[in-house]
């Protein structure tokens, strides 16, 4: 048996401690804290994410069941339900938001050359939002609809590696398009958005910054066709047009030319109309890029299924945001480990292995590496073989 450090301790070796302490000091997270530090809080909440704990009482019971191992994984304070609840309630959630951004920068550097299905030299982002439903009587601050509460995750996803670059957590009433006011657009990058983000003044600001967008046209969109470009209809592209918006208000908000691409999906038989300010990429590539926008939907589905962001350990806004940001940090940390250890397994498989081996003392590479076993259909060792 391997005599060494637990999987959890080896996992936390990939966490940049210096940057974590900087985030804590920035918001005075350990001010007047004697026994249960922000690092202890982070480790306990990370354990809860990796092992799918249901509640604070569940976290307390599981960690107290192995007291001899807590010191060796880095937890110095006493793990108690009330202590962890107080930490989630009072310690600034921005500590973990800033630290998640540190991990995101590390992950993006590792995945900078990752292939996402389209041969493209520019960076491509998918922008979307998802709703997490809550109970209005328990979360009265999370306003959404009459008799219903929710928080909304606005996410800008880098398609190379499916790394969330920017995340904003708001209550459910904030419309998706408002996130465009908070973004600093990257010149040359391509932003993929659905029709919820079709605001011409905001899109024109993106155009002036040197960035490109690809979105879908609404049914009532009125335009003037300037000229059409030749297309190969076997690729699914039915028309490639240079247009101007026809409505007075639209012309005031977006006075420049646009590209309108009519596309027919051969599999679903759907007809889609794309709008873009990119006049250089071939029309089939524009259509293929928009299909890659589905990665952000898969990201939302993945984190809701495999991380604890649908059931919360606290009811305050600070506690909810703390839990979500630590969940995002865990997602990005596992992505970093996958790349640095050159693992072939999926993030889902890595999380499943970690969930059952978190306190095992085995080398992390040995536990997570893809092992190929041949099924030899062996007989029992005490069974005689007639042909030997």
Q: What average pLDDT values come out for the chain (388 residues) when binned by 10 residues? A: 78 95 95 91 94 92 87 85 95 97 95 88 93 92 90 95 93 92 94 94 96 93 92 92 91 94 90 94 93 92 89 94 96 95 91 91 88 44 46
Estimate the crossing angle of helix 38-51 against helix 17-26, to 10 degrees. 120
Q: Looking at residue 370, what is its pLDDT?
A: 67
Cα 58 to Cα 80: distance, rounded to the nearest angstrom: 11
The predicted structure's pLDDT at residue 118: 87
Query: How far is the C-alpha of 80 from the C-alpha of 66, rounded, in Å?
Result: 14
| pLDDT value, residue 380 | 45
pLDDT at 3: 65
pLDDT value of position 374: 41
How confident is the model at residue 375, as a pLDDT? 39
Q: Residue 368's closest CA among 381, 385, 352, 379?
A: 352
Q: What is the pLDDT of residue 388?
A: 45
The predicted pLDDT at position 386 comes to 41
pLDDT at 255: 94
pLDDT, residue 371, reads 62
Domains of the chain in sequence order: 7-95+314-368 (no CATH), 194-291 (3.30.1370)
How much helix, strand and coil, in percent to the nearest 5, is found in the chain?
Answer: 40, 20, 40
Question: What pTM, to 2 d.p., does this model score?
Answer: 0.89
């Amino acid at each position: 048996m391997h005599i060494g450090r637990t999987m959890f301790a080896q996992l936390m070796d990939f966490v940049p401690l210096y940057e974590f302490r900087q985030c804590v000091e920035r918001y005075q997270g350990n001010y007047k804290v004697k026994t249960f530090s922000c690092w202890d809080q982070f480790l306990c909440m990370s354990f809860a994410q990796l092992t799918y704990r249901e509640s604070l009482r569940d976290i307390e019971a599981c960690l107290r069941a192995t007291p001899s191992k807590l010191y060796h994984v880095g937890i110095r304070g006493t793990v108690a339900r009330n202590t962890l609840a107080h930490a989630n309630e009072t310690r600034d959630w921005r500590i973990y938001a800033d630290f998640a951004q540190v991990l995101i920068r590390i992950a993006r550097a590792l995945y900078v050359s990752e292939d996402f299905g389209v041969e493209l030299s520019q960076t491509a982002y998918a922008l979307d939002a998802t709703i997490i439903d809550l109970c209005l009587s328990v979360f009265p601050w999370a306003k959404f609809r009459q008799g219903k509460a929710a928080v909304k995750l606005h996410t800008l996803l880098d398609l190379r590696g499916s790394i969330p670059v920017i995340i904003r957590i708001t209550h459910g009433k904030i419309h998706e398009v408002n996130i465009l006011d908070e973004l600093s657009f990257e010149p040359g990058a391509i932003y993929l958005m659905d029709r919820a983000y079709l605001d011409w003044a905001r899109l024109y600001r993106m155009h002036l910054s040197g960035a490109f967008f690809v979105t879908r046209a609404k049914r009532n969109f009125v335009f003037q066709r300037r000229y059409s470009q030749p297309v190969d209809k076997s690729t699914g592209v039915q028309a490639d047009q240079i247009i101007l918006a026809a409505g007075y208000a639209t012309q005031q908000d977006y006075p420049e030319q646009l590209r309108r691409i009519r596309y027919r999906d051969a599999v679903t038989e759907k007809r889609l109309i794309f709008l873009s300010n990119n006049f250089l990429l071939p029309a089939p590539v524009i259509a293929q890029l928009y299909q890659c926008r589905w990665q952000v939907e898969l990201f939302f589905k993945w984190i809701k299924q495999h991380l604890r962001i649908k059931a919360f350990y606290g009811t305050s806004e600070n506690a909810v945001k703390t839990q979500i940001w630590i969940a995002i940090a865990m997602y990005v940390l596992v992505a970093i480990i996958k790349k640095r250890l050159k693992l072939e397994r999926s993030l889902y498989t890595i999380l499943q292995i970690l969930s059952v081996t978190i306190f095992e003392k085995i080398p992390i590479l040995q536990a997570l590496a893809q092992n190929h076993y041949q099924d030899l259909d062996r007989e029992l060792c005490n069974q005689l073989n007639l042909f030997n």
